[in-house]
Amino acid sequence: MSEQFIEIEVERREVIGKRARKVAALSGMVPGVVYGGGKEPVPIAVDSKGIIQILRSEKGANSVLLFSMKGTKQQRHVMVKDIQIDPVTNTLIHADFKRIMMDQKIRVKVPIIFEGVAFGVKNQGGMVDMIMREVEVECLPIAIPDRLHVDLTPLKIGESVKVGDLKVAEGIRIVIEDHHLPVVVVSAPRVETAATPAEGEAEVAAEPEVIGRGKKAEEGEGEAKGKPEAKGKAEAKAKPEGKGKKE
C-alpha cells in the first residue's frame, strides 16, 4: 500500500460532443469528465498514456490521483470511474473520474491473490475451487490495499478459507456481511460414474432373445398358412376319382 498520490495535469475542455475526441487527440489527450463531490461535472482533457500506465499499475483503478488544472492552482483527488476503449484500435478514447474526499471512507473492490500449493492438492490428489477472486472493502482512500493474500499451503481436502479468515489492516472493513462464506475450498477429485459390466451384459443378452422369439413367430405363421393349402389340394384330387368310379 502506497501513501503517495499520482499527480496529473489536466486541461479544462471547452469542446464537447463528437468533436471533443478529435480535438483532444491532436495533443495526445483524451476527453474525460470529473463527477461527484457535490459539484457539477467538469469536462477535461487528460493524457491518455498517463491513464493507461495507472490502470496497468499494481493498484490499477484503485489508484488515487491528484488532478491539477492547467493554468490554475486548483487540485482535486480523484479515482478512475469508467473508461472506454476503441474496439478496433484498442486505444483509450474516453475516461470518467469521481471526486473523493481524503477524510471520507469509500468502497472499492480489491483482488484476492492465492499463494502456495495446498496440502490437499499436493498430497491427497484434491483440487482447489476459487470461489471469490475479489472482495469489496470500505476504508479511507489512503488505506486502500493493493490486494489481499491467501495462503493455500496448509489446506487439506474439505478445508476452506472463509471471508472472516481474510486478513486486512486496521481501519479496513470487508463489506460482505456473512463472514462464513467460503473464498476458496479444497475439494476431493471428481469421479465420473460409468455403467457396470453386469448391466452391459444384461442388455446384450436380452437382445437375441427378442430376435429369437420373432423368428419362431414367423415360422409358426408360415406353417399355419401352409396347412390349408395342402388340405385344399387333397380335396381337389379326391373329387375326380370319385366321379370316375360312379360312371
Q: What architecture does CATH give domain 6-99?
A: Beta Barrel (2.40)
Q: Nearest CA to 148 among 164, 127, 124, 126?
A: 164
Domain ranges within the chain, ordered by starting residue: 6-99, 106-187, 195-241
Query: pLDDT per residue over 106-119, tens digit each?
Result: 999 999 999 999 99
Q: How confident is the model at residue 22 (pLDDT cuts 50, 70, 90)?
A: low
pLDDT at residue 41, rounded to an integer: 94
Q: Model's pTM, two decimal places? A: 0.69
CATH 3.40.47.10 fits 106-187, yes or no: no
Query: pLDDT per residue over 147-184, tens digit each?
Result: 999 999 999 999 999 999 999 999 999 999 999 999 99
**What does the DSSP 8-state code read for residue 23?**
H
The C-alpha cell that represents 102 in the structure block = 481524503
Q: b or e along 169-193 (b: 16 or more beta carbons within 10 Å of the residue's beta carbon)?
A: eeebebebeeeeeebbbbeeeeeee
Query: pLDDT per residue over 92-102, tens digit each?
Result: 999 999 999 99
Who's near 214: CB < 8 A, 6+ residues apart?
none
Q: b or e along 65-75 (b: 16 or more beta carbons within 10 Å of the residue's beta carbon)?
A: bebebeeeeee
